Amino acid sequence: MRTKSKLAGAGALGLGVLLIALGAEAASGRTILVFGDSLSAAYGLAPQEGWVALLAQRLRVQGYGYEVVNASESGETSGGGLERLPRALRLHKPQLVILELGANDGLRALPLSELRANLERMVALARATGARVLLIGIRIPPNYGPRYTGEFERVFPELANQYHLPLVPFLLAKVALDPALMQADGLHPNARGEAPVLDTVWPYLEPLLAKKHRTRG
């Protein structure tokens, strides 16, 4: 079983900011901002291998006119995200925000009241700009104790219900229990695992997308 110290240390790795625009549809004015932590920042991988880069590819291939901006930062907590989000919203003016934060709060056993308040504030900030929000749920290992892990897991559906947000119940649902799809740290998907992560997000994201741009023949 993974130890708490190992999880906390791995969750705090990678303090550099990853901010890259992906896709060739910037001129459309449609932008998706992915705002998360190492689970969305392609931690341990080349940026083009991550699920966010694969999302940009899928949108392009399927004819959606979106630019995808990945403002995810490895090691980020909800508190750090709250500090960064206003600038990201001003800079990129997204129509959609994919909010994927909280894992590092849980791995550090931070107060869940702070996690909830930070996520609520970020949802409000995004909505104030007119952006729609897709909330990403995450889970932490059971060795944090049943009370904390259960309360942590409930934060995401409770917020989604309260604010009528679309919710991906668990980002790593297709990969977390398959060692062949996870990196050696047991926390992050490997390159093979990133496509299943996108497949987990896609059914919840697709209904939020504007109609495809049609190319005249």
* Per-residue pLDDT tens over the stretch 38-78: 999 999 999 999 999 999 999 999 999 999 999 999 999 99
In order, the DSSP letters of 34-56 are EEESTTTTTTTS-GGGSHHHHHH
* Residue 214 domain flag: no
* Residue 165 domain flag: yes
- DSSP code of 24? S
pLDDT tier at 7 (50, 70, 90 boundaries)? very low
Mean pLDDT of the chain: 88
- Provide mean pLDDT across the span 168-176: 98
pLDDT at 15 over 80: no
* Residue 216 domain flag: no
Query: pTM of the entire structure?
Result: 0.87
DSSP element (H, E) containing 78: helix 78-92
Output the pLDDT for position 21: 45
Output the pLDDT for position 212: 72
56 CB-near residues (< 8 Å, 6+ apart):
22, 23, 66, 68
pLDDT tier at 3 (50, 70, 90 boundaries)? very low
What is the count of structural domains for the chain? 1
Residue numbers annotated as active site: 38, 185, 188
* Residue 215 domain flag: no
pLDDT at 27 over 80: no
Chain segment 175-214, per-residue pLDDT in tens: 999 999 999 999 999 999 999 999 999 999 999 998 775 4
3-state SS of 119-163? HHHHHHHHHHCCCEEEEECCCCCHHHCHHHHHHHHHHHHHHHHHH
State the residue range of the domain holding 25. Answer: 4-208
* Residue 213 domain flag: no
* Residue 19 domain flag: yes
* Residue 85 domain flag: yes
Output the pLDDT for position 168: 98
Integer Cα distance of 188 and 7 in angstroms: 11
Chain segment 128-142, per-residue pLDDT in tens: 999 999 999 999 988
Output the pLDDT for position 12: 36
* Residue 128 domain flag: yes
CA 12 vs CA 73, 141, 166: distances in Å: 11, 16, 28
Integer Cα distance of 132 and 166 in angstroms: 9
**Which residue shows structure tokens 């104790």?**
145
- What CATH number is given to the structural domain containing 139? 3.40.50.1110
